[in-house]
Structure 1
């Protein structure tokens, strides 16, 4: 498997690395000496199945389904899966947390949690962000560089019966090292190993001295299996009752994930999203500027079965936080906080739609959308960009509408019991420029163990039958996003990057929304982006595309700026954009017309 060699030698070497970096406690030699031997880690039945290498998993007769595994505080989340299905492991989420009334960094996590024995030598805080203006604030500190985060590790997935006996051939998965990208070796395109401390009730973004609520957590996120890893399949036997998840960094404590196999499942696996205009176009197939156009969403499974009745979406309280029997999902960050790059953004599961155009004018949107726009009961769809202000038109809507989602959270809880609709209206401005406009819907479905994104984009013509195209100033993303990590599979499963800017505008409560901010931030911190960060030409195609400078453009990548900038523009207050709404204002044209070493 990827040229890794014999499994026994591999696992023996990993056990040695574990001992060297801490095991149960880096100072506890007695506990280190009692770590399970390799054969105990594997178990007798796994050893017997390891006789032939590589493992001879049978070729499935139907496409394998992406399976998501979840563990919290050492306990596996029970799985319900469709009987007779062949799976590959596409996602592993492991979280461990403890709470405290005092600010002790990650001390309690290291001492008390099931991640405590992994080896935390070298851990350090790398970023901090606070949310909640005007207060009280929630502050999150992000930690990396612990020994366990920098060690190569593997997972073995075994299916077992009610007595714990193995019922099929195990799967070996290479978790790799977070900061290395080794196509063909590692098995997941996305890897996140983190320590996080969350403090609530803080008086200011930096002052949590009066807070008595601290959560310390460690998370491991593996997502989007590479193509070669998708070929490692798991066909559940009828007698299988659980999946045993073994991690080479915790060899003596495998996780147990209960499994129930559903014989007569109502729905199929897979996810299809459809959107169509209900308002008829003019005789020539175009819409006139100023027209209000109604659209309708249809969500289906892979076999085409509807996931909701036509014209209806269920109340928020019937969906969040865990979805419906059909796999329908709504925004759930009220229950499981997300943070771009650092924490569980894939679990946000926003159902959303946008329009943006004309295509030839598409560009990043820098106008901030106020929270009040989400709470106004008279406004279902938010205008996020106008031709006069932003050079492009865009409007978006969350589903359910934002005044239901956020109004129910902050104003009237009864709104979460209101039935919702699968239709909405986008109104073109009277001065809408002629061309092609993109209408996109995106969401996520979780159904019987499968957790996958979906999106679709349609085009409508406004004012002209002539199709126009976007002029992208960055690319090609496929240099890295390939072999299972392509844009058609990660994020929102949409490879049409022109369709991103509308939804990804800066929100008052999420200023890091724009794609240029997220791209800079993620690639500058992942350590898996191969090119030098100062070499803008790795992604930017034109010199002009790097000259629209602002706090957000610069400080989404850089972590500091000169003292004279601090004196003139203020200290850095946001790890994402540098400051507040002013972060999107363009710096003077007399400065920053080029970037040293940019290649442009």
Structure 2
């Protein structure tokens, strides 16, 4: 499907959120789709601002990967030189940091995320002799670095074992990534440790303090994929048989594979934002200090600059009556609001198959100010230079080096009709219309764009057009817009659907195969406050991207997170809680079942894991066709119809 980037004079039809199209009696808000009196993720309109603190190899970093300077403060425990993650792999030499982490004095904050990473590249490589390298399977070296040399060596590593050994397709040309996890260390199993956050002024005086426990965070153990201790090898071809001792190097990847050993500690999504603190009324410099009860002698330091609200520069844009940016500049507020204006169809009611759908995106703060001029989004250099009003783009090295699962993948995807949406297996081409057809969205700024001539200075357009296929099925279609913003310590992700009709005026809705997420995900833990920020009303839309292991296969990801969670207290054999139809449970596969049953079928179907996604059978295939539709697993409770 060809995409045209056009400058169009749009007859604006503002389509609002899903509640304007679909009537939902159980809206995420009452018993919990977010408390109305205190919604901690409503930015300046909320009772508190969410705070994200990120650190890499002892240095505080901004969400774009740039290290934070201590400024004029004397901090003996803070590195004099830091690593810039955005300069590539292997890691560059450290240099003096220059960036600043700004916070607002007087504002009420709560700690939403704390993440600290230590990693090394190219250290735990095969022996020098080719014969020995062929059979390299030594886990002692990376384990020794983790326990005795990493920045987290003070943790109690007693009981650590080699755990999951995952092979994932690195590309569609037969290159694989192998990641081996270290699990079961004593500190990983803890749930009563605590994190004391202190705000310290320039003279070293503690001005405010608050203590969080690990139980105060929803994502607090390694099952979410945030916390991880692992060794990763990228640039291999598949093993030839189970437990193949030979390491097969892919000659097309490069002269040798990439070796990375990582310890990442990450707690995210506060379950109690009422446990908040007021940022002291200070100006100038200071430090946020976080002391982990399991590493009392090694506090984590985050140098900050206190910028009063009245001192914020006027860098955002006032909007006109149509919601478009004017030339008038105003100070930015907290938050991220995404708007899409869709051009009126030719008949004024709905789009005809083959017609072009034109739309304009607008990124705004929570106060209704534009983050960018109407003609274009910020450039990559503006994002990296902290001149994008916090709007963020895909950052390759935050994903690959920092292993950031909230990596900024701002973009969109157009899909429909909604009634046909479902998880796809064994193909990149879904049975419904999707642009693009890959699992990834269409990025506003593609990952390689910053490295092309002048690519980092190109302003991405705000106006787009998509050609509907001539055989587009009637129904309601959606433009899923995904955005990220980092501002004054607040880090937000948003994923919002905007709807239009094709072939008919009558709206259609999702198939209704899965749901009930609001039973657990209510209040502060509503899905709209977690990860991508997609409301529970549109949870079936997750399948339009999460179709394979590139972005995470939906059944694998969801089962693994919930079955491994210490907070998921429902019966793990009762499928009826989330699966609303029997049909939705009868698509078992190695990928889906293996998320809980790691040794399912042993190595009997070993080769299927390494078959290309387009081929069938593969690890995403439907095992029900062979056995499980006839004899569903007796240990699971399935819907009756």
TM-score (structure 2 length as normaliser): 0.70
Q: CA deviation at 1:588?
A: 5.8
1:247 to 2:292 alignment: yes
Match of 1:500 in 2: 541
Structure 1's 110 and 190: CA in aligned 2 closer, same or farther, altered over 3 A?
closer
1:312 to 2:371 alignment: no
Counterparts in 2 of 1:160-309, with a 5 A limit? 160-168=200-208, 170-176=209-215, 186-192=216-222, 193-202=227-236, 208=247, 214-226=259-271, 228-238=272-282, 241-263=286-308, 264-265=311-312, 266-278=331-343, 280-309=344-373
Aligned partners of 2:398 and 2:404 also within 8 Å? no
Query: Which SS does the other structure have where 2:568 is aligned?
Result: coil
> How far apart are the structure 2 equivalents of 1:434 and 1:338?
44
> How far apart are the structure 2 equivalents of 1:270 and 1:154?
28
Structure 1's 543 and 323: CA in aligned 2 closer, same or farther, altered over 3 A?
farther
**What is the CA deviation profile of residues 338-363 of structure 1, one whole-angstrom value per residue up to 9, with x for unaligned ones?**
89xxx5311x1111212222222222
Q: CA deviation at 1:545?
A: 1.4
**What is the CA deviation profile of residues 182-216 of structure 1, one whole-angstrom value per residue up to 9, with x for unaligned ones?**
xxxx3445544321222345465675588685332
> How far apart are the structure 2 equivalents of 1:115 and 1:563?
35
> How far apart are the structure 1 equivalents of 2:383 and 2:437?
18
Aligned partners of 1:199 and 1:208 also within 8 Å? no
Aligned partners of 1:534 and 1:595 also within 8 Å? no
1:68 to 2:102 alignment: no
Aligned partners of 1:318 and 1:324 also within 8 Å? yes
1:516 to 2:555 alignment: yes
Query: Which SS does the other structure have where 1:582 is aligned?
Result: coil
Q: Which runs of 5 or more residues in structure 1 are unaligned?
A: 1-59, 177-185, 370-383
Q: CA deviation at 1:247?
A: 1.0
TM-score (structure 1 length as normaliser): 0.74
Match of 2:108 in 1: 86
Query: Which SS does the other structure have where 2:268 is aligned?
Result: strand
Structure 1's 419 and 451: CA in aligned 2 closer, same or farther, altered over 3 A?
same
CA RMSD of aligned residues (A): 3.4
Match of 1:539 in 2: 578
Q: CA deviation at 1:492?
A: 1.6
Aligned partners of 2:360 and 2:462 also within 8 Å? yes
Q: CA deviation at 1:289?
A: 1.6
Query: Which SS does the other structure have where 1:457 is aligned?
Result: strand
1:442 to 2:482 alignment: yes
Structure 1's 545 and 503: CA in aligned 2 closer, same or farther, altered over 3 A?
closer
**What is the CA deviation profile of residues 316-340 of structure 1, one whole-angstrom value per residue up to 9, with x for unaligned ones?**
34435x764400111113443289x
1:328 to 2:407 alignment: no
Match of 2:117 in 1: 95
Q: Which runs of 5 or more residues in structure 2 are unaligned?
A: 1-43, 62-67, 69-100, 126-137, 250-255, 313-330
Aligned partners of 1:106 and 1:195 also within 8 Å? no
Q: CA deviation at 1:270?
A: 0.8
> How far apart are the structure 1 equivalents of 2:392 and 2:582?
41
1:360 to 2:419 alignment: yes
Counterparts in 2 of 1:120-131, with a 5 A limit? 120-127=157-164, 128-131=166-169
Match of 1:54 in 2: none
Q: RCO greater where, 1 or 2, for CA within 8 Å and sep 6 or more?
A: 2
1:132 to 2:175 alignment: no
Q: CA deviation at 1:258?
A: 0.9
> How far apart are the structure 1 equivalents of 2:444 and 2:60?
35
Structure 1's 589 and 92: CA in aligned 2 closer, same or farther, altered over 3 A?
same
Q: CA deviation at 1:484?
A: 1.8
> How far apart are the structure 2 equivalents of 1:580 and 1:126?
29
Number of residue pairs the alignment of both structures matches: 499
Match of 1:43 in 2: none
* More divergent stretch after superposition (111-120 vs 464-473): 464-473
Q: CA deviation at 1:500?
A: 2.2
1:344 to 2:404 alignment: yes
Aligned partners of 2:188 and 2:221 also within 8 Å? no
Q: CA deviation at 1:155?
A: 0.8
Query: Which SS does the other structure have where 1:329 is aligned?
Result: coil
Q: CA deviation at 1:506?
A: 3.1
Q: CA deviation at 1:159?
A: 1.1
Aligned partners of 2:423 and 2:544 also within 8 Å? no
Structure 1's 329 and 409: CA in aligned 2 closer, same or farther, altered over 3 A?
closer
Match of 1:553 in 2: 592
